[in-house]
Amino acid sequence: MKKVNKICCIGAGYVGGPTMSVIANQCPEITVTVVDINQERIDRWNDEDLDKLPVYEPGLKEIVASNRGKNLFFSTEVDKAIDEAEIIFISVNTPTKTYGKGKGQAADLKYVELCARNIAKVAKTDKIVVEKSTLPVRTASAIKSILQNTGNGVNFEILSNPEFLAEGTAVEDLLEADRVLIGGDETPSGKEAKDILSSIYEHWLPKERILQTNVWSSELSKLVANAFLAQRVSSINAISALCERTDANISEVSRAIGTDSRIGPKFLNASVGFGGSCFQKDILNLVYISRSFGLQEVGDYWEQVIIMNDYQKRRFAEKIVSTLYNTVSGKKIIFYGWAFKKDTNDTRESAAIYVADALLEEKAEIIVYDPKVTEKTIYADLDYLGTRSPEENRKLLKIATNPIEATKDAHAIAILTEWEEFKTYDWSEIYDKMLKPAFVFDGRRLLFKDEMEQKGFQYYKIGQS
């Protein structure tokens, strides 16, 4: 079997950076180069101050510190890295299309195609090209067509190796993966390519956790895995709304059904809704694929998961408005959290963005505190929606650096991210600073209702009357 000496990863984002850092850490004999055309991003990966890495994940900066400059490199020299590598990972962004056919559902593959064409132009030796980005079924065939028809006569083997990382636990997910999925052709050369990639993961994972499939099964499995997880979140959130009307407690319902071995307890925590780069995008992709094959009912079924998630975010914002006497105009509301979940600085599709947007439309004055998300990112998220001008967003929404002092004369606090530090705050001090009655809207079920009410708060917890 061919020995791998050099790996290149195109894309230094939330998947490429952590994945390649772990591979470099576990495979010291392999040189791993992560390339990106974004100079600022690469500069941050190379910054001596490891707190400035563009991706925040527990344990990541320690791994980068141990391997950077030894067998782990971050560079903008894309062509050089492609030319030298035996394996090339494609880990670029695949956002949902905002134009043309499939607008709002299909994946936009322009960056993937650009990568494929660049690989075809540069490569002068045989390469294994690995899809690491989340991609729709049959993307591998498109990549293969580009490489075979525009290349320099070299042989390319295309593999699908989808990521199954949860942000906030990405390093742990890589080191202790439930499974690694590798899809490829069933030809002799395809099987050899799958074995070569498997040998890399076998440096630290048992062989039985590395599953080899055909390429189509691998691509579809990624979408289906995220769809099933998101479905559970939307399902429990639907029941949380029912609990609030019936005096049932969603925590008790979750525990009761989670102890059923056929169901299990994971992803049964009611909340203001799921976010992140994958769940919504992958489900929309699944909806588009289903409908493109004439499976309308299948597409409708999975679209309902998104509809329920949007409903939960909208319901939370409406609860804030109705509780605050049906008007939030000119009222100061504190947002604790902007990232879509704890232990990450990723804000893509974060519930906080959409709750803030709804409240800003009601002319609320919002102050945001998040321990890892920058002011630049928060404003960029709001500006991207295009609901208001950038100037109006900056007038109505401010960023706090001191989460306690920010609550002075506030009407309400909304908890949008389950950061552990929020549990440690002196909530009695916070209560004293706020206008009365002081409201807390817990979108992540982070605090205890009885304790908060004993401190004097008017406290709303999703899934509990």
Of the listed 127, 194, 222, 342, which one is catalytic?
A: 222
Of the listed 278, 313, 342, 455, which one is catalytic?
A: 278
Q: In percent, how much of the chain has pLDDT > 70?
A: 99
Per-residue pLDDT averaged across 55-78, rounded? 97
Rounded Cα distance, 459 and 453, in Å? 6
Alpha helices in 123-214 (DSSP H): 139-150, 170-175, 188-201
Report pLDDT digits (tens) over 141-186.
778 888 887 767 889 999 999 989 888 999 999 999 999 999 999 9
**Amino acid type, 195:** D
Report pLDDT digits (tens) over 246-295.
999 999 999 999 999 999 999 999 999 999 988 998 999 899 999 999 99
Quote the mean pLDDT of the chain: 94
Name residue 79's beta-bridge partners. none
The pTM for the full model equals: 0.87
**Residue 163 among the catalytic residues:** yes
Q: What are phi and psi of 48, to 5 degrees?
A: -65, -30
Q: What angle is formed at CA 326 by the lines to CA 321 and CA 329, rounded to 5 degrees? A: 75
- Which of the four pLDDT bands, split at 50, 70 and 90, describes residue 439? very high
Per-residue pLDDT averaged across 178-196, rounded? 95
Of the listed 157, 163, 303, 349, which one is catalytic?
A: 163
- 132 Cβ partners below 8 Å, 6+ apart? 9, 11, 15, 16, 19, 89, 90, 91, 161, 162, 163
Q: What angle is formed at CA 334 by the lines to CA 333 and CA 339, rounded to 5 degrees? A: 130
What pLDDT, on the 0 to 100 scale, is given for residue 269? 96
- Evaluate whether 138 touches 109 at the Cβ level (below 8 Å): no
**Residue 252 among the catalytic residues:** no
- Which of the four pLDDT bands, split at 50, 70 and 90, describes residue 60? very high
Q: What are phi and psi of 227, to 5 degrees?
A: -65, -40
Residue 146's SS3 state is helix
**Residue 222 among the catalytic residues:** yes
Report pLDDT digits (tens) over 305-357.
999 999 999 999 999 999 999 999 999 999 999 999 999 999 999 999 999 99
Q: Percent helix, strand, coil in the chain (nearest 5)?
A: 45, 15, 40
Q: Which segments within 36-165 are labelled E, that is strand?
A: 72-75, 87-90, 127-131, 156-160
Residue with tokens 């035996």, as numbered in its chain = 86
What pLDDT, on the 0 to 100 scale, is given for residue 138? 67
Minimum mean pLDDT range among 169-173, 220-224, 435-439, 442-446: 220-224
